[in-house]
Homo-oligomer: A and B are copies of this chain.
Amino acid sequence: MTLASTVNAKAIELGKHVITMTTKAGSGHPSSGLSLAHIVIMLMEKRMRYDPKNPSNPASDRLVLSEGHAVPIVYAVYADVGGVAGKDPSQLKKVTLDDLNDLRELDSVLDGHPNPAEGFPFFDAATGSLGQGLSVAAGLALAARLRGTDRRIFTIIGDGESREGQIWEAADFIVDRKLTNVCAIFNCNGQGQADVVSHQQSAEVLTAKLKAFGWKVRAIDGHDVKAIGSALNLVGKGGQPVAIVAKTVKGWGTASLQGKGNHGKPLKESEVPGALADLDAMYDKLGVPRGSSGGLRIHKPKGEVPPLPSGEIRLPSFDEAMAEAGLADAVAKNKLATRRAFGAALLALGKADERVVSLDGDVSNSTFAEYFAKKLPDRFFECKIAEQNMISAAAGLAAAGYIPFASSFAKFLSRGYDQIEMANITRANIKIVGSHAGVSLAADGPSQMGLVDVTYFRSFGTADDGRGRPACVSFQPADAVAAYHLTGLMANVTGMCYMRTHRPDVALLYDKNASFEVGGSSVLRQGDALTIVSSGYMISVVLKATEALAGEGIQCTVVDAYSLPMNAQPVLAAGAKTGGKILTVEDNYGGGLGGAVAEAAAITGKCTVQIMTCKRIPKSGNSPEDVLSLVGLTAGDIAARVKDILK
């Protein structure tokens, strides 16, 4: 039997499962799956080197299905090869053809879109929000290079999907980094959801674009087994990454799923027999003998990859790390920005453990990831001005066991919020650090200020990740000591973390050996009049306010609530000691820290909470104080509000 016959026969047989499983589920994208039948079979049953019984082997080739909605064909092929899956990684079992009928059920590992966290370890990343897979592949390839393995990373991208700008960020990044083990396969079936795909995403224009971006391009018929095979053979062999631009037929083999209006629509029960008959007719049309779908052999990965370290990463002392980063003078002067202390901590972590890697978007001299970049260049990845790619590449690195810190301005990270949510669904162990947050940035104006970040990341933290942990943990250090230890904490907490740092230098508030914990807070000042809860840069402003108030005989408690979600009990206990009066202060829009305190307090109503946030869209101003005055957050504003509450 020829390879072509076998693959065609499999395309027919597994294509039938794509149809029946989506009809059974009552939703899904059979037409997309059918367009990829030959390509996926050639990958998963012929060219990819992996062990279906141990897909997570770090030497294995990987597939990132960027076009996530086409996943039924992958599920069908995975069942065909006896691939294993399961919620409990220690108890994986074979996915059977019968299991396919549970597609999209609540207790199935076969989610509507690729979702490794729900028990499908063949994938490294949740996909389905389009345009992200090539960046994940890039991250996996960076990790493979660090680990010294020649695993190849295949990505399948829809033609319509290739309109997403992130694809082109990834295309640049992969060329920049010479990640020639990445292969991008473009599925040009010409049909989008609402309409046909633009000429700009046609096979011809895609080919021209990819060449201009520096890729080796092979344009093929995506149902031609031989052409697929020889194009895939190019991967990893030349000095360029390989792109395969494959013309395909959406709804291949079945008239009822072809043409416009057939995106994301399963067939009705009544239509299924006709569609299956259409596919059966393909045996004769293609001259393929029935029953020829057996007999492919999957090549196992070659070689062993030494394990990465495990366990807790220990930081040196604060002073030691600051000295190493050249910050001893700043410490001595008692003026040190939280962003610099983050940089020093990142360097210390990187020196302590090879799992720690750093990604930054052309602002490492502002975020101070540059301390790491200069000393550990092999594990620093300059992502240039392309934050979407940076986040998804970090997710790829995390999937391969690394602990990536992705840093940029807090504002610019919002460019990657969709990618961050996808990484959150993946339960990617990534650490996101946003600098220049809040209005203290001042002169650069609102286009550079992180103003919704606290609220955005806190929101994820209200949900559980399905493993008993908050889906995201956020930190906001008030001084360099806190920034240092919280960076260390981030590295050691499993799951997504966000830290917010600030531009201005601030005084050191904490003992250098102070300890910090997830959900923690610290009482910085005790009083009896009112409790002020704040964090980050605003702590220094709050302390100015409380000093002034103390001069008038008003003693306030100040709580630094540096972690969200917070353990509210000590915060409310502090409030209870000040007559139940709490004021929260933060230099961002609402729904963040104040929201968290109010939500906790409102459960019983025993404490009252007044909230001060940035009351107006900011603009440029010469100094933090100028802009704080515009948005109602100066020390004077805070003191006035305290007095108003105490009236």
Q: What is A's interface to B at a CB cutoff of 8 Å?
A: 25-28, 68, 104-106, 108, 111-113, 115, 117-118, 126-131, 160-161, 163-169, 172, 175-176, 192-195, 197-201, 205, 208-209, 211-214, 360, 362-366, 370, 382, 384-386, 388-389, 411-412, 414-415, 417-418, 421-422, 424-425, 427, 443-448, 451-452, 455-456, 458-466, 471, 580, 588-592, 594-599, 601-611, 613-617, 619-622, 626-627, 629-631
Contacts and interface: CB of A to CB of B under 8 A. Distances in A.
A90 to B, nearest CB: 20
A200 B212 contact: no
Nearest to A590: B462
Contact of A205 (B117, B212, B606): B212
A617 B111 contact: no
Contacts of A614: 463
Contacts of A172: 163, 198, 200-201
20 contacts: A26-B443, A28-B443, A106-B627, A108-B620, A112-B445, A115-B446, A117-B617, A128-B444, A128-B445, A163-B172, A163-B385, A165-B165, A165-B386, A192-B384, A205-B212, A212-B212, A458-B590, A462-B590, A464-B616, A595-B598
Given A112-B445, A363-B193, A620-B115, A603 B608 contact: yes
Nearest to A622: B105
A45 B273 CA distance: 70
Nearest to A210: B212
A443 B266 CA distance: 13
A112 to B, nearest CB: 4
Contacts of A27: 443-444
Contacts of A592: 459, 591
Contacts of A451: 421, 459, 463
Contacts of A465: 616-617
A602 B590 CA distance: 14
A115 B461 CA distance: 33
A328 B460 CA distance: 40
Interface centre among A128, A200, A365, A610 (most CB of B within 10 A): A200
B161 A444 contact: no
Given A105-B626, A462-B591, 10 more contacts: A106-B621, A115-B620, A172-B201, A193-B363, A424-B617, A452-B460, A459-B592, A595-B595, A603-B610, A605-B608
Given A27-B443, A589-B460, A608-B602, A622 B104 contact: yes
Contacts of A422: 447
B447 A129 contact: yes
Q: How many copies of this chain?
A: 2
Given A27-B444, A194-B382, A200-B214, A463 B591 contact: no
The 5 closest A-B pairs by CB, nearest first: A165-B165, A462-B590, A128-B447, A112-B445, A106-B621
B445 A411 contact: no
A364 to B, nearest CB: 5
A243 to B, nearest CB: 13
Contacts of A605: 580, 601-602, 605-608
Contacts of A212: 205, 208-209, 211-212
Contacts of A26: 443, 622
B459 A591 contact: yes
A607 B415 CA distance: 38
A113 B619 CA distance: 9
A39 to B, nearest CB: 20
Given A164-B385, A595-B595, A598-B598, A411 B129 contact: yes
B591 A194 contact: no
Contact of A209 (B176, B209, B452): B209
A156 to B, nearest CB: 15
A452 B620 contact: no
Contacts of A588: 459
A418 B408 CA distance: 13
A205 B193 CA distance: 32
Nearest to A414: B418
Given A194-B382, A617-B464, A444 B580 contact: no
A646 to B, nearest CB: 15
B445 A617 contact: no
Given A165-B168, A200-B172, A455-B455, A443 B382 contact: no
A370 B192 CA distance: 14
B421 A452 contact: yes
Contacts of A213: 200, 205, 209
Contact of A415 (B126, B129, B199, B424): B129
A595 B599 contact: yes
Contact of A589 (B425, B459, B589, B613): B459
A493 to B, nearest CB: 17
A162 to B, nearest CB: 8
A127 B411 CA distance: 13
A249 to B, nearest CB: 19
A138 to B, nearest CB: 13
B414 A415 contact: no
Contacts of A111: 445, 619-620
Contact of A599 (B169, B382, B590): B590
- Residue from A165, A168, A360, A415 with most neighbouring chain B CB atoms (10 Å): A165
Given A168-B168, A452-B421, A193 B104 contact: no
Contacts of A205: 212-214
Contacts of A194: 360, 362-366, 370, 382
A233 to B, nearest CB: 26
A595 B456 CA distance: 13
A239 to B, nearest CB: 14
Contacts of A629: 106
A415 B588 CA distance: 21
A599 B611 contact: yes
Given A126-B447, A447-B422, A384 B160 contact: yes
